[in-house]
């Protein structure tokens, strides 16, 4: 349904629920958009909804039956300065799960993950998804099972690796400083699938967006 405001109200949303609106969302619906109707979504489902007479609650109506266009890709990514852009683009591209990975060259110490979650919610609302990707707590590179993932391998841009195409739906992208020698060795010895993103070196956030499209079905 075009042009109706879309609001994420939680993964467990169901028909018949009456959910209090935050002051911000109530203002957005009734004063900015000047509407009483909305689409609400979460957990892969989408519902018609209406703001109550007091303008304080949203009443969840019927399930629209529209299938969630979200995909099944898990993106492992090293936090970067532009993590907000990375999360915004990855969400628009339908990523299911985002896993921050602290690599040797990761240099982004002060990321506000609550803000990142808000960015994912806004991007999901705008991109017609019925779900918001999960953003996990950051994990260490050493704790990732490398045998079941692909990785965006910048060595492809130097012509000294033959990167494969893959049917795997999990991919890792490195930070601004790239993967370290030890990390490349770990990928190679675990049998992780190297993926080329072309002959040029891409910034990490663009690399992440393109990497997602390389493993999407
Ligand atoms: N500092 C590194 C260098 O000069 O070789 C480049 C790192 S790049 C900015 C950040 C990440 O994006 C890389 O670790 C890799 O995962 C991905 N990436 C960038 N360009 C790529 C390419 N052409 N092929 C595969 N992955 C690429």
Between CA 161 and CA 103, with CA 96 as vertex, the angle to 5 degrees is 45
Domain that holds residue 205: 74-215
**Predicted confidence band of residue 1 (pLDDT cuts 50, 70, 90):** low
Q: How confident is the model at residue 107, as a pLDDT? A: 93
| Same-domain status, 14 and 35 | yes
| Same-domain status, 180 and 132 | yes
Q: Kindly report, residue by residue over 8-45, the tens digit of the pLDDT.
A: 999 999 999 999 999 989 998 898 988 899 999 999 99
Last residue of a domain, one of 17, 34, 63: 63
Last residue of a domain, one of 41, 63, 85: 63
Ligand 1 site: residues with CB under 6 angstroms? 152-154, 156-157, 173-174, 176-179, 196-198, 200-204, 207
Q: How confident is the model at residue 129, as a pLDDT? A: 97
Q: The whole model's pTM is what? A: 0.94
Question: Is 138 inside a domain boundary?
Answer: yes
Q: Phi and psi dihedrals of 47, rounded to 5?
A: -135, 150
Question: Is 18 inside a domain boundary?
Answer: yes
Compute, in angstroms, the gap from residue 174 CA to the centroid of ligand 1.
7
**Predicted confidence band of residue 108 (pLDDT cuts 50, 70, 90):** confident
| Same-domain status, 95 and 22 | no
Q: Kindly report, residue by residue over 128-146, the tens digit of the pLDDT.
A: 999 999 999 999 999 999 9
Q: Kindly report, residue by residue over 191-200, the tens digit of the pLDDT.
A: 999 999 999 9
**Cα–Cα distances in angstroms (integers) from residue 95 to residues 23, 98, 171, in the given order:** 29, 7, 11
Question: Is 1 inside a domain boundary?
Answer: no
What percentage of residues in the chain have a pLDDT greater than 90? 84
| Same-domain status, 59 and 82 | no
Average pLDDT over residues 138-163: 90
| Same-domain status, 155 and 193 | yes
What percentage of residues in the chain have a pLDDT greater than 70? 97
| Same-domain status, 92 and 37 | no
Report strand pairing: 57-63 vs 134-135.
unpaired
| Same-domain status, 148 and 51 | no
Question: Is 68 inside a domain boundary?
Answer: no
CATH number, domain containing residue 174: 3.40.1280.10
Compute, in angstroms, the gap from residue 206 CA to the centroid of ligand 1.
10
Q: How confident is the model at residue 159, as a pLDDT? A: 84
Sorted by sequence, the CB contacts under 8 Å of residue 166 that are 6+ apart come out as 150, 193, 195, 214, 215
Last residue of a domain, one of 63, 88, 112: 63
| Same-domain status, 185 and 88 | yes
Q: How confident is the model at residue 66, as a pLDDT? A: 96
How many domains in the chain?
2
Question: Is 169 inside a domain boundary?
Answer: yes
Average pLDDT over residues 89-106: 98
**Cα–Cα distances in angstroms (integers) from residue 42 to residues 9, 39, 55, 143, 215, in the given order:** 6, 10, 21, 30, 24
| Same-domain status, 22 and 90 | no
Compute, in angstroms, the gap from residue 70 CA to the centroid of ligand 1.
26
| Same-domain status, 94 and 162 | yes
Do 108 and 175 touch, CB atoms closer than 8 A? yes
Place of tokens 């990855």: 90
Q: 10 Å Cβ neighbour count for 154?
A: 22
Compute, in angstroms, the gap from residue 26 CA to the centroid of ligand 1.
43
CATH number, domain containing residue 39: 2.40.240.20
**Predicted confidence band of residue 49 (pLDDT cuts 50, 70, 90):** very high
| Same-domain status, 40 and 111 | no
State the closest ligand 1 atom to the C-alpha of 199, by its place in the atom list counted from 1: 23
Question: Is 158 inside a domain boundary?
Answer: yes
Question: Is 186 inside a domain boundary?
Answer: yes
Cα separation, 95 vs 123, in Å, equals 11
| Same-domain status, 128 and 103 | yes
Report strand pairing: 45-51 vs 57-63.
antiparallel
């Amino acid at each position: 349904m075009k042009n109706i405001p879309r609001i994420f109200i939680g993964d467990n949303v169901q028909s018949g629920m009456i959910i209090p609106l935050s002051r911000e969302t109530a203002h957005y619906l009734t004063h900015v958009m000047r509407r009483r109707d909305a689409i609400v979504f979460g957990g892969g489902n989408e519902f018609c909804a209406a703001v109550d007479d007091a303008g304080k609650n949203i009443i969840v109506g019927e399930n629209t039956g529209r299938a969630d266009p979200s995909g099944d890709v898990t993106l492992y990514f090293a936090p970067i300065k532009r993590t907000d852009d990375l999360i915004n683009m990855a969400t628009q591209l339908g990523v299911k799960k985002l896993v921050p990975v602290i690599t040797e060259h990761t240099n982004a110490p002060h990321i506000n993950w609550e803000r990142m979650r808000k960015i994912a919610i806004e991007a999901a609302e705008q991109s017609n998804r019925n779900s918001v990707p999960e953003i996990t707590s950051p994990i260490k590179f050493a704790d990732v099972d490398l045998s079941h993932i692909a990785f965006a391998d910048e060595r492809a841009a130097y012509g000294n690796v033959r990167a494969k195409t893959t049917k795997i739906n999990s991919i890792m992208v490195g930070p601004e400083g790239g993967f370290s020698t030890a990390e490349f060795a770990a990928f190679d010895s675990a049998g992780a699938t190297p993926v080329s993103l072309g002959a040029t070196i891409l910034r990490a956030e663009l690399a992440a967006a393109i990497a997602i499209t390389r493993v999407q079905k």
